[in-house]
Amino acid sequence: MTETARAFWTVAPGSGEIREERLPKPGDGEVMVRTLHSAVSRGTESLVFEGRVPVSEYDRMRAPFQQGDFPAPVKYGYSAVGVVEQGPVGLTGKTVFCLHPHQDRFVVPVTAVAELPDGVPPQRAVLAANAETALNGVWDAGIGPGDRVAVLGAGVVGALVAWLSGRIPGTEVTLVDVQPARARLAEALGVAFAETGRATGDCDVVVHASGSEAGLVAALGLAGNQARVVEMSWYGELRPAVPLGEAFHSRRLSLVSSQVGQLPPQRLPRWDFRRRLKTALALLADPALDALVSGSTSFETIAEDLPGVLAGVGEVLCHRIDYAARR
């Protein structure tokens, strides 16, 4: 009997469907995983779903195990949690995380999966990809004990950066967002909150993760003398205007990019992507992070529900896709 799998494909800008495909039998050094949950990365996946990935970034934007090419049809996504159905002795039956598109079953090399640590439930483990991004951002920001930190943009990545920064002894961390309702999220994560335009400036480090030009302008305004501003947003084809006149030079500000696709240079001698992923998974043991999962959708209705999720209808943070057990 031929094994089959079902996966979500973007078939045209703003349109998707579930497609069935043949599933190869796992070979030596491979595992077959039955997916329990996956997560929608709103920032990146909205650009993919709407066909707004710049041509210049087609290669760099490819996700692990992606099929098809930009703009469409393409199978995309990178946050799946599932159970190993077939594989090496000792791994079968284990719950694992994998950077894989939205698909109910898949076969990948053993090296592509990471076992969930004790205390990290599958429903929360879908945050692992975002946690890696946030961890990289904190490294790039160089946040230290006692620093005054502002994080603009209370989406999943920004919230995780604020949460991680708040665990550094002595830091004063404020999560900044245009939505007053995000104050509840900040409280759950143990950091302060301020609406955009009301945050206190003179910060040692400012992290921008709102994905908007206005947010980046506000981030520069919150930076203290000779402070570092870390840009974690990705704008696709947009070209935000950055106010590099006025006091940018006199205050000797540093504007630094952060992107999860590369490790910070100072960590390359000792770290690799797998070590970073395992660290990100271990950090997810905190139940406070359940506040970042704002809702869920059945895989069966993903094509109908995804446009609204990506548009941010309602209080959308991390939106989880749930997969029913196959008979």
Q: pLDDT at position 246, please?
A: 81
pLDDT digits 0-9 by tens, 132-184 = 999 999 999 999 999 999 999 999 999 999 999 999 999 999 999 999 999 99
Name the pTM for this structure: 0.94
Structure tokens at 223: 């930076």
pLDDT digits 0-9 by tens, 73-97 = 999 999 999 999 999 989 999 999 9
- Alpha helices by DSSP H, listed for 206-260, are 213-222
Q: Where are the domains of the chain?
A: 4-127+284-322, 130-267
Report, as an integer, the average pLDDT of 279-301.
96
pLDDT digits 0-9 by tens, 36-50 = 999 998 888 999 999
Top-tier CATH class for 4-127+284-322: alpha beta
pLDDT digits 0-9 by tens, 217-236 = 999 999 999 999 999 998 87
Q: pLDDT at position 314, please?
A: 61
Q: To the nearest whole percent, how much of the chain has pLDDT over 90? A: 88
Superfamily of domain 130-267: NAD(P)-binding Rossmann-like Domain (3.40.50.720)
* Interacting residues of 223 by C-beta distance below 8 A, sequence separation 6+: 201, 203, 206, 229, 251, 253
Strands (E), the chain: 4-12, 15-22, 30-40, 67-68, 74-75, 80-86, 95-98, 105-109, 113-115, 148-152, 172-177, 192-195, 203-208, 223-231, 254-257, 293-298, 318-322
> Has residue 327 got a pLDDT over 60?
no
Q: Is 88 helix (H, G, I), strand (E, B) or coil?
A: coil
Fold identical between 4-127+284-322 and 130-267? no
Q: pLDDT at position 1, please?
A: 46
Q: pLDDT at position 143, please?
A: 97
Per DSSP, the residues of 270-315 read: T--HHHHHHHHHHHTT-GGGGGGEEEEEEGGGHHHHHHHHHTT-SS
